[in-house]
């Protein structure tokens, strides 16, 4: 009987260890949860959207053989990616890839041009129309006019979909490939809240958030956004 109890306990322990290792592997290499704290990607992604980020599909490979076997893909124009903010790698940002290595990126009256050709952007959102050509802001505001600039090798030009309210490559430069964590995949939950509530830190803020979610889970959950694929 003692031997049976010992074996059973050992099996439970081993199962827990395997589950923890598997969870850590998935968290580190395959998928990561991410929440939207600001409106820089509206109207495509809203404050309070909770995403799953596919980290494996953009993982670096060491050889052509690996690329042929593993389900990895290059970063493409239009991908919505999560990355370490170049000026503060402890923070994660989410933006859309606009310029690829070698592209010449230019903004004229808020319209993006790649190699001199206008880029079709059905996802883009503006808070206000382009400034008048005679306005003093037309040439000095990077939201109105920018570039042209050439994207270096192994770097990308990224922008938020909410073009008038996004800190992106127009302000802090190109995104190095090594800082990209993964491609945004799907919204698994969306909860209506304010940006200030998401930005608040500390134990007290966390307790208030948990209490608020528990009290308003059904009324503030955006049910229509659940399992929405991110494009």
Of the residues 55, 95, 166, 190, only one is catalytic, namely 95
pLDDT at 25: 46
- Would you place residue 218 in the very low, low, confident or very high pLDDT band (cuts 50, 70, 90)? confident
CATH number of 2-229: 2.10.109.10
Residue 27 has, within 13 A of its CA and on its CB side, a CA count of: 6
| pLDDT value, residue 213 | 72
Residue 72 contacts residue 56 (beta carbons within 8 Å):
yes
pLDDT score recorded for residue 131: 83
pLDDT of residue 215: 77
Q: What is the pLDDT of residue 135?
A: 66
| C-alpha–C-alpha distance, residues 134 and 118, integer Å | 22
Residue in the structure block whose two tokens are 């998401």? 198
The percent of residues above 90 in pLDDT, for the chain, comes to 59
Question: Residue 217 pLDDT > 90, yes or no?
Answer: no
Annotated catalytic, 84? no
Task: Spell 71-95 as b/e; 16+ CB within 10 A means b.
Answer: eeeebeeebbbbbbebeeeeebbbb
The confidence score (pLDDT) of residue 12 equals 58
What's the confidence (pLDDT) of residue 139? 66
The model's confidence at residue 209, banded by pLDDT at 50, 70 and 90, is low
Per the prediction, the chain carries an average pLDDT of 82
pLDDT at residue number 58:
75
Q: What angle do CA 178, 182, 184 make, to 5 degrees?
A: 145
Of 40, 166, 169, 190, the active-site residue reads 40
What pLDDT is stored for residue 10 in this prediction? 63
pLDDT given at position 126: 95
Say which residue, 106 or 20, is predicted with more confidence.
106
Query: According to the model, what pLDDT value does residue 214 have?
Result: 72
**Three-class DSSP category at 88:** strand
pTM for the full predicted model: 0.79
Render pLDDT for 128-180 as a digit per residue (tens, 0 to 9): 988 876 666 666 789 999 999 999 999 999 999 999 999 999 999 999 999 99
Instruction: Give catalytic status of residue 95 as yes or no.
Output: yes
What is the C-alpha to C-alpha distance for residues 30 and 52, in angstroms, rounded to an integer? 10
pLDDT above 70 coverage of the chain, percent: 70
The closest of 21, 29, 89, 27 to 57, measured between CA atoms, is 29
Structural domain boundaries of the chain?
2-229
pLDDT tens sequence across 40-93: 999 999 999 999 998 877 755 545 544 454 556 789 999 999 999 999 999 999
pLDDT, position 66: 44
């Amino acid at each position: 009987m003692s031997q049976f109890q010992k074996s059973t306990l050992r099996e439970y322990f081993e199962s827990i260890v395997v589950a923890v290792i598997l969870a850590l592997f998935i968290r580190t290499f395959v998928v990561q949860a991410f929440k939207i704290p600001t409106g820089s990607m509206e109207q495509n992604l809203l404050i309070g959207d909770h995403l799953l980020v596919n980290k494996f599909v953009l993982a670096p490979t060491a050889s052509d053989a690996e690329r042929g076997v593993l389900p990895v893909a290059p970063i493409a124009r239009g991908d919505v990616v999560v990355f370490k903010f170049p000026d503060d790698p402890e923070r994660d940002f989410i933006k859309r890839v606009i310029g690829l290595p070698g592209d010449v990126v230019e903004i004229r009256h808020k319209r993006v041009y790649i190699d001199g050709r206008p880029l079709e952007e059905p996802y883009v959102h503006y808070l206000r129309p382009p400034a008048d050509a005679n306005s003093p802001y037309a040439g000095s505001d990077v939201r109105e006019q920018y570039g042209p600039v050439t994207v270096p090798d192994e770097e990308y030009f990224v922008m938020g979909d909410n073009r008038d309210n996004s800190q992106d490559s127009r302000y802090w430069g190109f995104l190095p490939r090594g800082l990209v964590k993964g491609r945004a995949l799907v919204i698994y939950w969306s909860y209506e809240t304010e940006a200030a509530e998401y930005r608040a830190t500390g134990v007290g803020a966390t307790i208030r958030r948990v209490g608020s979610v528990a009290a308003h889970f059904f009324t503030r959950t955006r049910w229509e956004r659940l399992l929405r694929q991110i494009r």
